[in-house]
Amino acid sequence: MPKVLKGGCLCGAVKFQCEDEFARFYQCHCKQCRQLSGSAYAANLFTEADNIEWLEGATQIKKFQHPSRDFSKAFCEKCGSALPFVTKSGKALLVPAGSLDDHPSIPVSANIFMSERVSWLRQDDQLECFDEFPD
């Protein structure tokens, strides 16, 4: 039996769980993922389309679908947190990695759309690290 991972949004309105069975785990650096996530890249897991059980707040989920291109985002209508959704093809469930409370067992598979990555992104060991906001 695969482990069950729980997740949800920041305000707590939406809660879900899914089995820890992911096929791919991408860090996508494309412009659209940067805009949708508001960050340097989006970390997204992919699994079977039916690997999701909504525990609370399923009716509070809003979805944006780009009118002409294959970009979507599901989010909590109260707090805006990114949430899982079935991709346009209907074949896969995209789970924003940050929406999970637990850590998936799959390691990141790849960085994708690296030609579009921002120049300011630093992922080196020399960068100073803090466990909270620095003084």
Residues that bind Zn ion in the complex, under the rule CB under 5 A: 9, 11, 13, 28, 30, 33, 76, 78-79
Least distance in angstroms from the C-beta of 30 to Zn ion? 3
Distance from C-alpha of 135 to C-alpha of 133, rounded to nearest angstrom: 7
* Assigned token pair, 40: 């340097």
Q: Which is nearer to Zn ion, 3 or 31 (CB)?
A: 31
Q: Which residue has the tokens 């992104």?
A: 121
Least distance in angstroms from the C-beta of 121 to Zn ion? 14
Least distance in angstroms from the C-beta of 116 to Zn ion? 8
Quick one: 33 exposed, middle or buried, by C-beta within 10 A (0-12, 13-18, 19+)?
buried
DSSP 3: P
Q: Which is nearer to Zn ion, 76 or 94 (CB)?
A: 76
Judge contact between 99 and 81, C-beta under 8 A: yes
Q: Which is nearer to Zn ion, 3 or 55 (CB)?
A: 55
